[in-house]
Amino acid sequence: MKGKGIILLLSAILCLTACGTIERKADGVVSTTESESDNDAGEIIMETETEEAVSDTIPDDTFTETSMPYTPWEGDVDANFIGVWHRTNCHSAIAGTIAMDKIEKETHGGIKGTFIHFKGEFIRGGNFGIIEGEALFINENEAVYTSWKALEDPDAVYDTYLIFNIDDSGLHVSLQGENDRLGFGQGVTAIGDYITDEPVYTNTNIVEETFSEEELGRIKELLGEQIYNDEFIYVTSGGVVFDETVILADEKEARYIKAFIPGVGIGYDMLITEDGRIYYKPTGVGKDGFAVITDDPEYEGTQLPEYTDIPEQ
């Protein structure tokens, strides 16, 4: 991908140590006994094609805001949760990473059970969210997280849970309750599919898919190398891109491309006409008065030429 990358992903590899409450079995299952043994989970490589797995441990119609809707699991648990997980099959502007590093028998919020410690970092453009805590196992391959500290209050409301589910395709995160209760930035979520391998981003080839080589060459010549790289490529490769056909005032068709990075305050609007004219308008914070950059010698202004959407058939 060309241009500056927008995403800073975790690349730390967690070092697992021996734990007195964990016994590693040959089949990849952890037994929560009192014996001392090696807790090495080993590296696992997941498939990049994943399907969202939503927990069905507790039916929606039995969920209430005044009772703990999940029962702690008392059996063995899957050790393959341990690792660094990256959200996949998504736009790079909504990347996320979850690190899980130890499984122990503990008590949180007055609830005794087997917990796994995790830390998650998520973004949506310029907004971000960080969460760290312990998720309670509710079956061998599923764990839930809520604000356990708040639940020490007997009048606490049990209404928001992150649900972690693991299968052969990877880690799947879903939500029960209100996302706002997690304290993330605007539009940020942890929901999605995660793998321990390199994530697959849906916008990896967005620049080449949106513009031809000939168009890119002409745009670079028009904008100059600095604006081309620091603004045009940066926004196109890491932002949200819309591309549609519109009708100009002279009734000729043109391509209208709009791109922006949510929460960052940078973007552009562009028209490419049938005869090859380019009109480029920077958008975002402080850009209202900027002139349109164009190769049309007869055009001056701070807005794109007038256009209308093509009526739906």
Q: Delimit the domains of the chain by residue range.
A: 23-195, 206-309
- Highest-scoring range by mean pLDDT, 85-94, 153-162, 178-187: 85-94
| Integer Cα distance of 55 and 62 in angstroms | 14
Please choose, from the candidates 45, 66, 179, the residue with its C-alpha nearest in 3D space to the C-alpha of residue 124: 179
Question: 236 pLDDT exceeds 80?
Answer: yes
Model confidence at 263, pLDDT cuts 50, 70, 90, reads confident
pTM, to two decimals: 0.71
Average pLDDT (242-246) is: 96
Average pLDDT (108-123) is: 93
Question: 78 pLDDT exceeds 80?
Answer: yes
Q: Which of 64-68, 249-253, 290-294 has the lowest mean pLDDT?
A: 64-68
Average pLDDT (47-70) is: 43
Given a contact cutoff of 8 angstroms between Cβ atoms, the answer to whether 160 and 136 are in contact is no
Question: 117 pLDDT exceeds 50?
Answer: yes
Phi-psi region of 217 (alpha: psi -120 to 50; beta: other; left: phi over 0): alpha
- Highest-scoring range by mean pLDDT, 42-46, 54-58, 290-294: 290-294
Average pLDDT (156-179) is: 90
Average pLDDT (166-194) is: 94
Model confidence at 67, pLDDT cuts 50, 70, 90, reads low
SS3 308: strand
Model confidence at 158, pLDDT cuts 50, 70, 90, reads low
Average pLDDT (116-121) is: 98
Model confidence at 69, pLDDT cuts 50, 70, 90, reads confident
Bridge partners of 114, per DSSP, are 105
In this structure, the dihedral spanned by the alpha carbons of residues 279, 283, 289 and 291, taken in order and rounded to 10 degrees, is -20
Neighbours of 177 (CB within 10 A): 17
pLDDT digit string (tens) for 12-51? 333 333 333 334 343 444 544 433 334 333 333 333 333 3
Please choose, from the candidates 122, 124, 119, 108, the residue with its C-alpha nearest in 3D space to the C-alpha of residue 84: 119
Average pLDDT (166-171) is: 96
